[in-house]
Amino acid sequence: MINLPKPTENLGGLLRMWVLEPAAVASLSSGVLSLSGQGDVILLYITPESSHADCELRRSAAGHYYELSVGGFTPRIREEAQRLFERMAGRSYVVVLRDGNGQYQLAGNPQEPLRFSFSARTGSAVTDRNGYEVKFERQCTMSLQQIQDPFGG
C-alpha cells in the first residue's frame, strides 16, 4: 500500500525568487544545486499574493512534457527595475524558489532554462497596482525539482 499522509504544515505562496544564468549552475545532483558563485544571482522581490509556480504535465505526439510558468508582481515602476528587466528580456534563466514552508524548488535547469518576459502595469485608480508583471516560461522534460537550500542559509 502507498500512503500519502496529510502534511503537518502547508503554507502556500512563494516568498523568494532567485534568478540564475544557466552558466552559474556548477552542478545539480540528487536535490543539491551547486553554484559557481553568487555574483550573478538576482534576488527578485515578488509580492506574495501575486507569486505563482505552475507545472502542468502535458502530452503531445512525441510524448509527455511539462509546461512550466513562474512569475509574479514586483511593485513600483522605477528606473533600476526597468533597466534590469530590459537587460533580462528574451534571455533564459534557472529560477530558485522558496515557499511558505521553507522548501526550495528549482524551475528549469541549465539544459532547459526558462525564458524571461515582463510588462509594466499601472491602473487608473490610486488603489490599482503599479509595477511589473514578470514571467519565466518553458516546455521542459523535467518538472519543478525539490532542492536543498543552495545558498547555505
Residue 13 CB neighbour total at 10 angstroms: 16
* pLDDT bracket for residue 10 (50, 70, 90): low
Q: Of 131, 123, 102, nearest to 44 (Cα)?
A: 131
Q: What is the mean pLDDT of residues 3-16?
A: 72
| Digit-coded pLDDT (tens) for 19-51 | 999 999 999 999 999 998 767 899 999 988 889
HEC secondary structure over 13-61: CEEEEEEECHHHEEEEECCEEEECCCCCCEEECCCCCCCEEEEEEEEEC
- 62 three-class SS: coil
Residue type, 66: Y
Burial 81-111 (b: 16+ CB within 10 A, else e): beebbeebeeebbbbbbbbeeeebbbbbbbe
Per-residue pLDDT at 4 exceeds 90:
no
pLDDT given at position 7: 65
Q: Which three cell numbers stand for residue 144?
A: 519543478
Task: Tell me the pLDDT tens digit for each residue of 47-96.
Answer: 888 899 999 999 988 889 999 999 999 998 999 999 999 999 999 999 99
Say which residues have a Cβ less than 8 Å from residue 90's Cβ, sequence separation at least 6. 115, 116, 117
Alpha carbons within 13 A on the beta-carbon side of 134: 31
pLDDT of 6 > 70? The answer is no
Higher pLDDT residue, 135 or 62?
135
Between 25 and 4, the more confident residue is: 25
| pLDDT of residue 8 exceeding 70 | no
> What pLDDT shows up at residue 121?
86
